């Protein structure tokens, strides 16, 4: 199973996302969606699991949870924005979600893949919306196969740096 991991769109769903996610089976959005239309556009192509983030308004918060727990191809996955932990770190996420095998989060806009014993345990796809903090927009691809450690990569979406 191939998953598209996206976060911090802040209302901007770049066309490149559809190219990068062309072969994914499911999309996981880690919050700060920005506009409900982002979820609608993703749902037109893929099943979507999404959570709200700290900047999402009451319309989005009424439709999405702050944490989603799903099982895909035998892996227990937690999807969160992470802002409930302040500035989330892999250690804080592991402590908050000890039963999760894979934790996907956003909030920091900083792409990150943490490996433990060559297994993806924490992933932040970076911010997919307007560039922030001098970081280029990005998304993640997570590949799952029963009995094999998950594989992940960060994919830059292009665009210019901004602070």
- Structural domain range at position 40: 2-156
In a domain? residue 161: no
In a domain? residue 30: yes
In a domain? residue 35: yes
Q: What is the secondary structure of 15-63 as a DSSP string?
A: HHHHHHTTT-SEEEE-S---SHHHHHHHHTTS-EEE---TT--HHHHTT
Q: Is the pLDDT of residue 55 over 60?
A: yes
Identify the burial level of 105 via C-beta atoms within 10 angstroms of its C-beta, where 0-12 means exposed, 13-18 middle and 19 or more buried. Answer: buried
Q: Residues near 10 by Cβ (< 8 Å), separated by ≥ 6?
A: 32, 33, 34, 55, 127, 129, 130
CA angle, 20 as apex, 71 and 45 as ends, to 5°?
65
**pLDDT score, position 161:** 45
94-111 tens-digit pLDDT: 999 999 999 999 999 999
In a domain? residue 80: yes
**pLDDT score, position 50:** 98
CATH number at residue 105: 3.60.21.10
In a domain? residue 78: yes
In a domain? residue 142: yes
Q: How many domains does the chain have?
A: 1
Q: Which residues pair with 4 in a beta bridge?
A: 27, 141
In a domain? residue 114: yes
139-157 tens-digit pLDDT: 999 999 988 889 999 999 9
In a domain? residue 163: no
Q: Considering the chain, what percentage of its residues have pLDDT values greater than 70?
A: 95
**pLDDT score, position 24:** 98
Neighbours of 14 (CB within 10 A): 18
Q: Is the pLDDT of residue 119 over 80?
A: no
């Amino acid at each position: 199973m191939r998953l598209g991991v996206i976060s911090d769109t802040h209302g901007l769903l770049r066309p490149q996302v559809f190219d990068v996610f062309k072969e994914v089976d499911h999309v996981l959005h880690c919050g700060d969606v920005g506009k409900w239309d982002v979820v609608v556009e993703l749902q037109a192509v893929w099943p979507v699991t999404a959570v709200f983030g700290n900047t999402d308004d009451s319309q989005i918060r009424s439709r999405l949870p702050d944490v989603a727990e799903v099982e895909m191809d035998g892996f227990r996955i937690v999807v969160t924005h992470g802002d409930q932990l302040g500035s989330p770190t892999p250690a804080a996420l592991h402590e908050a979600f000890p039963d999760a095998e894979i934790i996907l989060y956003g909030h920091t806009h900083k792409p990150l893949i943490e490996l433990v014993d060559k297994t993806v345990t924490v992933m932040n796809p970076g911010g997919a919306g307007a560039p922030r903090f001098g970081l280029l927009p990005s998304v993640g691809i997570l590949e799952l196969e029963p009995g094999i450690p998950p594989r992940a990569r960060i994919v830059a979406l292009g665009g210019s740096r901004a602070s």
